[in-house]
């Protein structure tokens, strides 16, 4: 299942890259506006061997708003197989674009502002088939990543994040690797 997800996402990425607009010299890649994103994810067990669950694939959907060049907020839903436990989560998220705070952003001269690194955090609720029960539990995520804008409206997004949980899901933690697309309209 995970290989099929990543193969499908790889084909989608190739399609996006091949249809992306060529150079847009005057494009504002950090402009404000609503965004929609879809990510393939790969969850790696970070529970220190307590549970030994298999590394697994999944999906994430994001809807958000780039409020100012330095900050985007939103809501995301995430699902992964996690050895048949099928956890899902719904979270609020915040992305802080770190280089946008600099007067002379060094990335602007290299890639024309297309590459935009960020730190991300989210807090929400998760549920699944856990040993301690199936009650919803609190979840949090902290990580870092980057958007690479192909044109003014479409970006490839990659990130690495630690995901921790509380309540019935306390023993389940993972490091999630995500690759996706973000569309700003």
Structurally, at CATH architecture level, domain 2-184 sits in Beta Barrel (2.40)
Residue 105 backbone phi and psi in degrees, to 5: -65, 120
pTM score > 0.95 for this model?
A: no
Q: Where are the domains of the chain?
A: 2-184
Give strand pairing partners of 119: 96, 144
For 79-117, how does the pLDDT look when each residue is reduced to its tens digit (9 = 90+)?
887 666 667 788 999 999 988 887 777 767 666 788 899
**What CA–CA distances, in Å, run from 74 to 51, 57, 132, 174?**
32, 23, 30, 22
For 146-167, how does the pLDDT look when each residue is reduced to its tens digit (9 = 90+)?
999 999 999 999 999 998 877 6
* d(C-alpha 125, C-alpha 133), whole Å: 15
């Amino acid at each position: 299942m995970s290989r099929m997800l990543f193969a499908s996402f790889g084909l989608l990425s190739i399609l996006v890259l091949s249809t992306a607009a060529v150079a847009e010299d005057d494009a504002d890649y950090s402009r404000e506006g609503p965004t929609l994103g879809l990510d393939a994810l790969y969850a790696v067990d970070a529970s220190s061997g307590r549970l030994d669950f298999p590394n697994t694939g999944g999906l994430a959907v994001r809807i958000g708003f780039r409020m100012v060049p330095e900050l985007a907020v939103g809501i995301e839903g995430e699902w992964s197989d996690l050895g048949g436990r099928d956890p899902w989560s719904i979270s609020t998220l915040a992305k802080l674009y770190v280089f946008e705070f600099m007067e002379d952003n060094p990335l602007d001269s290299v890639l024309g502002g297309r590459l935009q690194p960020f730190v991300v955090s989210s807090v929400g609720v998760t549920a699944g088939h856990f040993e301690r029960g199936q009650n919803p539990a609190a979840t949090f995520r902290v990580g870092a990543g980057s958007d690479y804008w192909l044109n003014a409206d479409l970006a490839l997004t990659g990130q690495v994040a630690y995901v921790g949980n509380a309540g019935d899901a306390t023993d389940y933690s993972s490091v999630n690797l995500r690759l996706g697309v973000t569309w700003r309209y």
